């Protein structure tokens, strides 16, 4: 019997609950004890910890967000704070810690591992910015939310012959933008990977307008430029009526898709299988249809994948 803690950390993502359910039920079926830690690393420090049974995760699978709640807790970057967390885990006899979160949360897990805690990371973020895994939990649901929003924006943009710049989340990763632009047949795509040349972009808009293209959807990753300002500048300089839509946190919510539920359930099982073998310091992920695991330090060092093929696909088919 092993004592296992589980927490969710960083930006919430649909599918986190599925992975927690899977970890809890799988662990209990192997005879382990599971402790739910609320509010991420902060809750660990605050000892916001509850022993779970299999019913603690009932009716959570279909819910968005994270019922364990999450937190951004920058103090965890300090070693003294992490040492306090280790003391809390010792007090509860928790030897294994499952962390569901993004690259920041994984960094915390890596550093806790260095202090002797056996950590397992489950990738949970809508950004899909952990390159060791094909997909992170929540990406598919967020992508479908973005697609639904863009489809609606297309209706009104076409009716009014407007340009609509849609700002999509992803932090510094263009995956949500690239996949949604391809899936909606957007006319322009601007991401950290494509780069942004404002003059070239505005000239392209003018050219397509002159060719008789009545409206255009521009998908742009957040943190590149102020889209409201850009829309105003385009309208002032070109006379093309332009609006900006910031999709914002709506992208993080909603019931997880089948793909995210399946991924969460599968990754949770692998996390417990590693713990059954007394293994820590690893994270789980998906490669094609195969569940994989990898050393967490190595996983964090995997360079971001080339987006060339997909960007090319967008350019050819737009």
Is 127 a catalytic site residue? yes
- Judged by beta carbon, residue 28 or residue 146, the one nearer ligand F6P is 146
CB of 179 to ligand ADP, least distance (A): 19
Nearest-angstrom CA–CA distance, 142 and 14: 8
Give the residue, chosen from 40, 102, 121, 256, that forms a contact with ligand F6P under the rule CB under 6 A: 102
Which residue's CB is nearer to ligand ADP, number 112 or number 230? 112
Contact between 125 and ligand F6P by CB under 6 A: the answer reads yes
Q: Cα–Cα distance between 170 and 150 in angstroms, integer?
A: 16
Query: Is 122 a residue that touches ligand F6P (CB under 6 A)?
Result: no
11 near ligand ADP (CB under 6 A): yes
CA 248 to chain CA mean position, Å: 14
Among 44, 146, 166, 169, binds ligand F6P (CB under 6 A): 169
| CA 306 to chain centroid | 18
Minimal distance, residue 13 CB to ligand ADP, in Å: 8
The verdict on 73 binding ligand ADP (CB under 6 A) reads yes
User: Residue 252 binds which entry of ligand F6P, ligand ADP, none, with Cβ cut-offs from 5 to 8 Å by kind?
Assistant: ligand F6P
Structure tokens at 34: 């599971």
Q: Is 40 among the residues that bind ligand F6P (CB under 6 A)?
A: no
Task: Out of 12, 127, 175, 260, pick the active-site residue.
Answer: 127
CA-CA-CA-CA dihedral for 318, 251, 271, 105, to nearest 10: 110
If the CB atoms of residues 125 and 184 are measured against ligand F6P, the closer one turns out to be 125
Three-state secondary structure along 147-211? HHHHHHHHHHHHHHCCEEEEEECCCCCCHHHHHHHHHHCCCEEECCCCCCCHHHHHHHHHHHHHC
Please identify, using beta-carbon distances, which residue of 78 and 214 lies nearer to ligand ADP: 78
Residue 126: which of ligand F6P, ligand ADP, none does it interact with, CB under 5 to 8 A by kind? Answer: ligand F6P
Contact between 113 and ligand ADP by CB under 6 A: the answer reads no
Residue 83 found at the interface with ligand ADP (CB under 6 A): no
Residue-wise burial string across 261-297, b where 16 or more C-beta atoms lie within 10 A, e elsewhere: bebbbbbbbbbbbbbeeeebbbbbbbeeeebbbbebe
| Contacting residue, 252, 266, 270, 282, with ligand F6P by CB under 6 A | 252
Closest CA to 244 of 208, 209, 263, 219: 219
| Binding segment toward ligand F6P, per CB under 6 A, in 32-40, 122-130, 151-159, 304-312 | 122-130
10 binds ligand ADP (CB under 6 A): yes
Nearest Cα neighbor of 16 from 71, 60, 76 is 60
CB atoms within 10 A of CB 69: 18
**244, β-bridge pairs:** 165
C-alpha dihedral (14, 18, 21, 22), degrees to nearest 10 = -140
- Catalytic residue list: 127
Q: Give contact residues for ligand ADP (rule: CB under 6 A).
A: 9-11, 41, 72-74, 76-77, 101-105, 107-108, 111, 125
Q: Give contact residues for ligand F6P (rule: CB under 6 A).
A: 11, 102, 125-127, 169-171, 222, 252
């Amino acid at each position: 019997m092993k004592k296992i803690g589980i927490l969710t950390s960083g930006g919430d993502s649909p599918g986190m609950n599925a992975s927690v359910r899977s970890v809890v039920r799988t662990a209990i079926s192997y005879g382990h004890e599971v402790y739910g830690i609320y509010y991420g690393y902060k809750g660990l420090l605050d000892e916001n910890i509850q022993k779970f049974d299999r019913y603690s995760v009932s009716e959570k699978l279909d819910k968005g967000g994270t019922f364990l709640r999450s937190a951004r807790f920058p103090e965890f970057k300090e070693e003294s704070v992490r040492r306090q967390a280790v003391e809390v885990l010792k007090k509860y006899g928790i030897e294994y810690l499952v962390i569901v979160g993004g690259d920041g949360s994984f960094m915390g897990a890596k550093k806790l591992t260095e202090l002797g805690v056996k950590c397992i990371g489950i990738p949970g973020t809508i950004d899909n910015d952990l390159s060791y895994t094909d997909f992170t939990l929540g990406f598919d649901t967020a992508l479908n939310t973005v697609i639904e929003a863009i489809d609606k924006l297309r209706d009104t943009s076409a009716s009014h012959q407007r340009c609509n710049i849609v700002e999509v989340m992803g932090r510094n990763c263009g995956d949500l933008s690239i996949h949604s632009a391809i899936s909606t047949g957007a006319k322009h795509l601007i991401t950290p990977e494509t780069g942004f040349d404002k003059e070239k972009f505005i000239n392209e808009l003018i050219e397509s307008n002159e060719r008789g293209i009545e409206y255009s959807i521009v998908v742009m990753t957040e943190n590149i430029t102020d889209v409201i300002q850009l829309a105003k500048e385009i309208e002032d300089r070109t006379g093309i009526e332009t609006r900006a839509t910031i999709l914002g946190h709506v992208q993080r919510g909603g019931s997880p898709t089948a793909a995210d539920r399946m991924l969460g359930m599968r990754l949770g099982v692998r996390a417990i299988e590693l713990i059954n073998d007394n293994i820590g310091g690893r994270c789980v992920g998906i490669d094609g249809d195969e569940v994989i695991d990898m050393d967490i330090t190595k996983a964090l060092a995997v360079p971001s994948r080339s987006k060339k093929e997909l960007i090319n696909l967008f350019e050819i088919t737009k």
